Amino acid sequence: MKEFLAAIVAGTAIFHLSTVFASPPTSVEQLRSEFEAALQTKNTNAILALFNWEGVTNSTNSYPNVVARKMSQFLLHYPTNELHVFARLRLLPNDFETEGIINGMRYRPNVSVVGMMEGSLGVTLDGTNFSWGSLIPYGAKNGQFYFAGTTAEKIYEPKTRDRILVVTVSSGVISDDAPTFTGTCTYVQNGAEIKRDIRGKGAAHKTFYGDYVKACTLKKTDGGNRPLDLEINEGIVKDQTMVQTTVFSGKTTATNALITYERKQQL
């Protein structure tokens, strides 16, 4: 859903679905098989047809279009029939969010999301591997399986346009002994305070939409003397490009030590 929302904010429609399957997949394996076949035949329209388009509008169709565009760009750059192709099922991330609110609009998937579908194309040139891949939420509706489309519903008139609020936790380590952490961040959207948990191992990346980040507290819970960094950025989109400003950067190496951020009161 975070990728959906990012595409909605920054993306524009590039492809339009012209054909759909007469009978959508009735099992997860059939959905996976149809996706794999579309990758093997380099058929972006067939991939777009795997999405559920019910309730999707020109303002919410950016994510599937971005998937198709990036795949097309890869195939144009590497025009070969010797592609390495796979499509496999993945579990939903623990922090997967089923909806988000941006600028007074509530965005939701139009299927009951149950997992992620990973697809990849790869080529080998002169001993070097190059690849494109995508991770797409999928789910069921009325006994049929689809990639999730996005619907929008206006729930309030925003006082100001939301900024993109990015909270990043990093350690530079992805091994088993990477530091673990837990914490919370509070941000303000349309005058209301919203609190979100942040926890993980090695790294985490959270994107919120609102006026500003009010406060964050992060505690390193394990990981020896390995450093843990917290960075907070606020951004806006200009000409389909996000312009970010770093508002906080902090670090700790001690277990159970806190990194804290409190936004200064604006005069």
E strand or H helix at 14: none
Name residues whose C-beta falls within 8 Å of residue 19's C-beta, 6 or more positions apart in sequence: 45, 49
22: which residues sit within 8 A by CB, 6+ positions away? none
The confidence score (pLDDT) of residue 176 equals 78
pLDDT given for residue 148 in this prediction? 97
Q: What Rg, from alpha-carbon coordinates, does the chain have?
A: 20
CA distances from 142 to 25, 51, 178 (A): 11, 14, 43
For residue 96, the model assigns a pLDDT of 84
Contacts of the segment 88-93: beta carbons below 8 A, 24+ positions apart: 88/32, 88/117, 88/118, 89/28, 89/32, 89/115, 89/116, 89/117, 89/118, 90/115, 90/116, 90/117, 90/118, 90/135, 91/115, 91/116, 92/116, 92/137
Side chain identity at 73, as an amino acid letter?
Q
pTM: 0.78
E strands along 24-179, which residues?
84-90, 100-102, 105-109, 112-125, 128-141, 144-147, 150-154, 163-170
Q: What is the mean pLDDT of the chain?
A: 88
Tokens, residue 97: 């969010």
Looking at residue 22, its pLDDT comes to 57
Q: Residue 152 corresponds to which tokens in the numbers above?
A: 């929008």
Sites in the chain below the pLDDT cut of 50: 1, 3-21, 267
For the chain, domain boundaries:
2-154, 163-262
- Domain 163-262 belongs in CATH node 1.10.3090: no
pLDDT of residue 9: 41
Contact by Cβ (8 Å): 39, 87: yes
Q: Regarding the domain delimited by 2-154, which CATH topology (the fold level of the hierarchy) does it fall under? A: Nuclear Transport Factor 2; Chain: A, (3.10.450)
